[in-house]
Homo-oligomer: A and B are copies of this chain.
Amino acid sequence: MINDTDCFVERFELAPSGSGTLDGFSFTVKDNIHVKGRRTSYGNRSWRESHPPATYNALCVDQLLSAGATCVGKVVSDEFTYSLAGENSFYGTPLNPKAAGRIPGGSSSGSASSVADGQADFSVGTDSGGSVRVPASFCGIWGMRPSLHRISEAGVLPFMPSVSTVGLLAADFAVLRKSMRVVLRSGTRLTVKPRRLVLLEDAFALADADIRDAAERRLATIAERAGLRPEWIRLASIAGDGTFDLRKCNEQALGVMQTIEFQNTVGDWIESGAPELGAGLTAFYPAVRAFDRHRHLDGIALCERLFESIGDFMADGTIVCFPTTPTVAPLKGALSDAGTASSFYEKTLAVTSFAGVGRLPEISAPLLTVDGCPVGVSFAAGHYRDEFLLDAVDGLLSGK
């Protein structure tokens, strides 16, 4: 066990296996991703004790080492990556260096903390429902969730096969872009200039007033400099259903798949043994267990329809923007109140579900400070347009 302000599960130095664009950069690896010879705990003590050390690096870790980066350790993950808080009963709560007394966000909590605290240049995390984007927003750093399945998940512990992605977090945009290019590894896609900057109305409506206003002002400046006129859109218009919104997107589509896929992977393991569970999962798991699996038919159908609708909307050159999280990081311990937790998750998961069902790449940029705390602004592009998104965000924010 480590003390509750350290983001590391294990410190070590794994030298690069090659040389390239990441020479001289250091990175940490979330504790659900295999590093050869190390135990992967998945954020849970019983899992750690019942699984042998990994015999291979995850493919993404090998890619980064090959490009010249040095791995400096494994960092805390929320238990089974099933949380957005970053409060782990076994490993403690990694420090949020940018917002004293507040949670770092999760589940890539140690990833965000290690980068925000200067312990590494970038970190490898995973994101199923916001687990890269939320801690990036709360810790004032960059985070990118790529298009679904753009990065190999080989050597990454299975969580939600239809939802989960490998993503990266970095303090500096140039480092995010360099490291993402290594794991995306195509670099051949046609780059077009952003032609439309669209503000997702539902996400702004869910955000606290200060965040909403700050994000709108900042995006207006960005758009003006780029010679674009921001457009507003509601998810209802994209989906062609006047009553549909982001909350429903999470509750009826993505959240259904997440819950059932969690049952099939981690739930299966939990129920076939009697592992020790942390406080969060002890509270959550009965609801997972009781979830009506027959909802999957409607859930999958809705996910597919939304994927198509959003895909049609996200034509070449379209960037959709919104506050990454509707709030700043909650105070440590605040989410132990069930009502507070419920409200936090409903709103936050609603916002993160847009890129989730769209299978879109989304970058959270550390652009805002509200009440002294960081909050991210997100930029999303069409499915598989990851390179375009990286170039577009560079152009929009640097004024190139």
Contacts and interface: CB of A to CB of B under 8 A. Distances in A.
A49 to B, nearest CB: 14
Given A154-B260, A158-B158, A296 B186 contact: no
Contacts of A301: 185-187
A360 to B, nearest CB: 15
Interface stretch (A167-175, A229-237, A263-271): A263-271
A301 B67 CA distance: 14
Number of copies: 2
A386 to B, nearest CB: 10
A300 B151 CA distance: 9
A62 B300 CA distance: 12
A160 B158 CA distance: 12
A369 B293 CA distance: 43
Contacts of A63: 296-297, 300
A294 interface: yes
Given A185-B300, A188-B304, 7 more contacts: A34-B268, A59-B260, A59-B296, A149-B162, A152-B162, A154-B161, A154-B261
Nearest to A20: B297
Chain A: number of interface residues, binned into ranges: 35 or more
A18 interface: yes
Interface stretch (A50-58, A84-92, A117-125, A220-228): A50-58
Contact of A271 (B55, B188, B300): B55
A257 B21 CA distance: 22
B300 A152 contact: yes
Nearest to A51: B272
Contacts of A186: 301, 304-305, 308
A34 B304 contact: no
Contact of A148 (B149, B272, B300): B149
